[in-house]
Chains A and B, each alone.
Chain A
């Protein structure tokens, strides 16, 4: 045994002959070219390169040396060739080009000196590969070396062949390798066997050559040969079902080999930490796995042995655990007895408690693979798995997360969710999205109660709102929509959450939607499940406005907020001035989507006030049906372009329209004080469908200004829905451009007896000065006989501290309004 310490300055064993130092010859000096010039020793070069202070310096040294090496190659100096190549290989490792050394490898391999061959073959492995034509040229040398009978040389050749041998080389040299399989020397045989493995990988047809010797080789006692043989058999079986069937018959023999290994006592040569040759054990177990897969008989033969290995292997160190791990993998993959499977899962469970992080890693990975097929066995280790969520290593906590999510079921969902929610709060950012979506999915599958489900989603949105997927908002709104008994609870909790934080967009969107839908419940103040909360209208509106204005709000969020505000116009009791103001402001918003909404809502206030309540009413309980949702969405789009994430359902109920018409019977043509009509859902909705809000519509009837006094104007606009020719809708708009407010405004109307008139509640009683928000009111006139329309109006209001009363008949009513 050579001691290598302190040899850096001593004789370099690689050099035969010259041992002088010094730099190579000057290029082009004719005299010196013929001499055998001293060249830099390998280790001196390494020293010099390492001494370079900068990258540039290093490059300079190397370039200079490479020039010398090139020259030396050109000169064909055989004596120092190996040294030159060795230096070249060093700089190659540093990343510098070395292709000009390829042919030198060939020459060195062909040399008879062992020193040359050693470096030559190393060079071949590092510099030559299949892509270079040159690689074929060493085939002959290898052939020669294989048959020479000098073991170290044969070893070099086999090693090189198995590292970089191409398919052609393998085909050429297979016969040589085959011969070596049965040579007396184990040193060469073990290498030949593994070379055969490589050859089969490159040229699968060679399996037929190397399959027959296996049976005999399996009887060897030399560990290296056994190991190689088992590797070879494994390779053969993986490639060919026929080979697999063939080798099943050696299962008993393999079992015996492994049993002997396991029961043999300690051997200095092969044991690691009290485990006999773990490398060999693992390889045997792997082969057993392949042979036992999907095969009852084989699986049975190995059953006892696997149990023995599983229970007797020393697990105090990694070597034993490696064997145990392979055993577990084998047990789980073959047709093993149920008890054995449970044993295997339990071993993995124990691995989870191991202080060695690596062991925990392989355990988590394996359990993840088994959680579907052996669910109940893995369930038993749930507490340990959950503990692993606290791992500091992200790759472990990621696996623990996946496994935990896979283990959630209806009986453990509450406890598991608690753990997962806690994890969500503290987990690394790249796991947040997966954790959030995992929790939401599990909640959807196993929620014990709707309230719990809503709470869970709420918690996820608050904790990791930015990481949830887009459909979380839709899902939550559907969920809340469908749980009527929880509307009050949901809106209250969402309001509280929103009041605290308006930055988490999904949360804000859901909260805005909820407040819009159930604002009345929010203000009602009573909900048993939560502490009573006094919220007043102004606060709610202020909060929504805050969302609308916040720079943190996405355009979509703003849309939600605006729509919510609009809905509140029918849910709240107060006047809608504030809402109307916001709506009209956003009519000139730069965001096109928002602007469109605002303009439409504004129009709703002004021209279609009669429809407003119907359009904005609460959605009925939603079915979680795909196709139905689509239809509903389509209809809602036709309605008033009020599009939202959740579908707006419609219930065409034609019968209710008839009920409405009946109500209009028998009223006199005189002045009426109409009770404000509560729009019934069905009728108004049919009404909705009747009206094609989208063009083309019949030629619009021009507006009519019917009254003006001191800056106060009254305008009529007419609509005759094509589906119902008897119906005429008049919207009366009172505007005020004077300097004084108009208050206590009341408008009454009368029509001829043959017509029927119905007045709806006005939008308000006040028109502020200087073009303040107008009052609108809807008249419904049924004129089935197409009698000429006459209309008498009576106005009373206060203006400039005076009470005004005006009665007049409307002239110049357009004929289209009744013909």
Chain B
């Protein structure tokens, strides 16, 4: 995966994870164009589109668009599963997640993503393990003096 963007129906960015090195200017340009392109899609259209030399996989959950850019040899259908898994993780963590949760706790959204994907690749396929890791990290934050059990 090259990058993942989350944005609202109004085009406001809620999360941006870049796995390729690009300048701030380039990132802004890509974000702007891609958001425009995806928002212009009609509801009955398929979740895949070709954009520049990348394949874009996107899915809308309530008011949020989850948008991934993958390479030519990547499997679009499994990318949909990646997106869905991430949403499930957010949902489990926040308890019926909504856009506001991601707005007010954007750093948590990043932390969760970073336990699921690493360097653009899936690192953990067990929902349980991901959530356990986040839990441990949160505990460490709250009470740094406590000795932690190894995550697993």
Q: Which of B121, B128, B144 contacts A231 (CB 8 A)?
A: B121
Q: Which of B104-134 contact A (CB under 8 A)?
A: 104-108, 110-111, 114-115, 118-119, 121-129, 131, 133
- Taken together as a complex, chains A and B put the C-alpha atoms of A220 and B29 apart, in Å, by 43
| Minimum CB distance partner of A123 in chain B | B107
A279 touches B78 (CB 8 A): yes
Contact A159 B46 (CB under 8 A): no
Report which of A158, A269, A283 forms a contact with B126, defined as CB distance below 8 A: A269
List the B residue with the shortest CB-CB distance to A276: B125
Instruction: Report yes or no: B144 in contact with A114, Cβ–Cβ below 8 A.
Output: yes
Contact digits for A77-99, partner B, Cβ 8 Å, 1 yes 0 no: 00000000010011001110000
A325 touches B23 (CB 8 A): no
**Is there contact, CB below 8 Å, between A358 and B75?**
no
Whole-angstrom CA separation of A14 from B106 in the bound complex: 13
CB distance B48 to A361 under 8 Å?
A: yes
In the complex, are the beta carbons of A322 and B111 less than 8 A apart?
no
Residues of B close to A283: CB separation below 8 A: 122
B119, chain A: closest CB distance, angstroms: 4
* Mask: chain A, 1-25; 1 = CB below 8 Å from B; 0 = not: 1111100100001100000000000
Q: In the bound complex, do residue A13 and residue B103 qualify as a contact, i.e. CB atoms below 8 Å apart? A: no
Distance of A670 from chain B, by nearest CB (Å): 86
**B77 near A359 (CB under 8 angstroms)?**
yes
Within 8 Å CB of B96, what residues of A? 5
- Per the bound structure, the CA–CA distance linking A394 and B14 in Å amounts to 29
Contact A4 B105 (CB under 8 A): yes
A236 → B minimal CB distance (Å): 14
Q: Which residue of A lies closest to B15 (CB)?
A: A93
Given contacts A269-B126, A318-B77, A359-B77, contact A115 B141 (CB under 8 A): yes
A145 interfacial contact with B, CB 8 Å: no
Q: Which residues of A contact B148 (CB under 8 A)?
A: 150-152
Residue-wise interface mask of A (169-198) relative to B, using a CB-CB cutoff of 8 A (1 in contact, 0 not): 000000000000000011100110011011
Q: A191-B118, A269-B128, A326-B75 are in contact. Are A1 and B81 (CB under 8 A)?
A: no
Interface residue ranges of B7-63 to A (CB < 8 Å):
12-19, 21-23, 28, 44-50
Residue of B nearest to A194 (CB): B118
Q: Is the CB of A228 within 8 A of B123?
A: yes
Inter-subunit contact B103/A278 (CB<8 Å):
no
The answer to whether A158 and B125 have CB atoms under 8 Å apart is no
Q: How far is the CA of A118 from the CA of B135 in the complex (A)?
A: 14
Given contacts A151-B150, A282-B75, A393-B46, contact A3 B95 (CB under 8 A): yes
**Majority SS of interface residues in chain A?**
helix
Nearest A residue to B18 via CB reads A163
Contact A191 B123 (CB under 8 A): yes
- Write the chain A residue with the least CB distance to B119: A162
Which A residues are CB-close (under 8 A) to B17?
163
A326 adjacent to B78 (CB under 8 Å)? yes
Instruction: Please measure, in the bound complex, the distance between the C-alpha atom of A604 and the C-alpha atom of B54, giving whole angstroms.
Output: 62
Asked whether A280 and B125 contact (CB < 8 A) given A318-B77, A358-B77, A396-B46, the answer is yes
A283 to B78, CA, bound (A): 10
Question: Which residues between 59 and 113 of chain B lie within 8 Å of chain A, taking CB atoms?
Answer: 73, 75-78, 80-82, 85, 93-96, 101, 103-108, 110-111
Contact A322 B78, beta carbon cutoff 8 Å: yes
Contact, CB under 8 Å: A129 / B78: no
Map CB proximity to B onto A115-134 as digits: 1 under 8 Å, 0 otherwise: 10011001000100111000
Q: Are B13 and A93 in contact (CB under 8 A)?
A: yes
Which of the listed residues A113, A159, A185, A319 has the most CB atoms from chain B within 10 Å of its own CB? A159
* Contact B81 A163, beta carbon cutoff 8 Å: no
A279 and B125 contact, CB distance less than 8 A: yes
Docked Cα-Cα span, A278 to B126, in Å, equals 11
Chain B residues with Cβ below 8 Å from A270 are: 125-126
The proximity string for A residues 131-171 relative to B, scoring 1 for CB distances below 8 Å and 0 otherwise, is 10000000000000000001110010011001110100000
**How far is it, in angstroms, between the C-alpha of A159 and the C-alpha of B85 when the chains are bound?**
19
Q: Is the CB of A93 within 8 A of B16?
A: yes
Residues of A within 8 A of B80 (CB): 318, 322, 358
Closest to A166 in B: B21
Residue of B whose beta carbon sits closest to that of A324 = B77
For the complex, give the distance between the alpha carbons of A286 and B77 in Å. 14
Interface size classification for chain B: 35 or more
In the assembled complex, which residues on chain B have CB atoms less than 8 Å from the CB atom of A704?
A: none
Out of A50, A118, A321, which one reaches B77, CB within 8 Å?
Answer: A321
- Option from B48, B50, B119, B125 in Cβ contact (under 8 Å) with A194: B119
Which residue of chain A lies nearest to B19 when distances are taken between CB atoms in the complex? Answer: A163
Closest to B14 in A: A93
Give Cα A594 to B50, complex, Å.
Answer: 47
Q: In the assembled complex, how far is the CB of residue B76 from the closest CB belonging to chain A, in whole angstroms?
A: 6
Contact of A163 with B106 at beta-carbon distance under 8 Å, contacts A152-B136, A152-B140, A279-B125 already known:
no
Tell me, in angstroms, the Cα distance from A318 to B75 when the chains sit together.
Answer: 12
Name B46's contact: one of A4, A186, A358 (CB within 8 Å): A358
Distance in angstroms from A222 CB to nearest chain B CB is 9
Contact status B121-A197, CB under 8 Å: yes
- Specify which chain A residues have a CB less than 8 angstroms from the CB of B23 in the assembled complex: 129, 131
- Kindly identify which residue among A3, A228, A360, A394 contacts B121, using a CB–CB cutoff of 8 Å: A228
Q: In the complex, A46 Cα to B135 Cα: how many Å?
A: 24
Contact A358 B48 (CB under 8 A): yes
* Cβ contacts under 8 Å, B151 to chain A: 151-152, 185, 187
* A86/B107 contact (C-beta < 8 A), A325-B75, A361-B48 known: yes
Cα separation A282 to B82 with both chains bound (whole Å): 12
B28 touches A95 (CB 8 A): yes
Contact A94 B13 (CB under 8 A): yes
- Distance between A287 CB and nearest chain B CB, rounded to angstroms: 12
Please report the C-alpha to C-alpha distance between residue A1 and residue B123 in the assembled complex, in whole angstroms: 21
With beta carbons under 8 angstroms apart, the residue of B78, B81, B141 that contacts A14 is: B141
* Residues in chain B near residue A578, CB distance under 8 A: none
Beyond A224-B126, A358-B47, 10 additional contacts (C-beta under 8 Å) are A1-B93, A46-B103, A151-B151, A194-B123, A195-B118, A223-B125, A279-B125, A322-B80, A357-B44, A358-B80
8 residue pairs, one from A and one from B, having the closest CB atoms: A322-B77, A162-B119, A198-B119, A322-B78, A194-B118, A357-B46, A187-B151, A224-B124
A residues in contact (CB < 8 Å) with B: 1-5, 8, 13-14, 43, 46, 50, 86, 89-90, 93-95, 113-115, 118-119, 122, 126, 129-131, 150-152, 155, 158-159, 162-164, 166, 185-187, 190-191, 194-195, 197-198, 223-224, 227-228, 231, 269-270, 272, 277-280, 282-283, 286, 318-319, 321-323, 325-326, 329, 357-362, 392-396
Pick 6 A–B contacts, CB within 8 A, sort by A: A89-B106, A129-B21, A163-B118, A194-B119, A227-B123, A279-B81
B residues neighboring A (CB under 8 Å): 12-19, 21-23, 28, 44-50, 73, 75-78, 80-82, 85, 93-96, 101, 103-108, 110-111, 114-115, 118-119, 121-129, 131, 133, 135-138, 140-142, 144, 148, 150-152
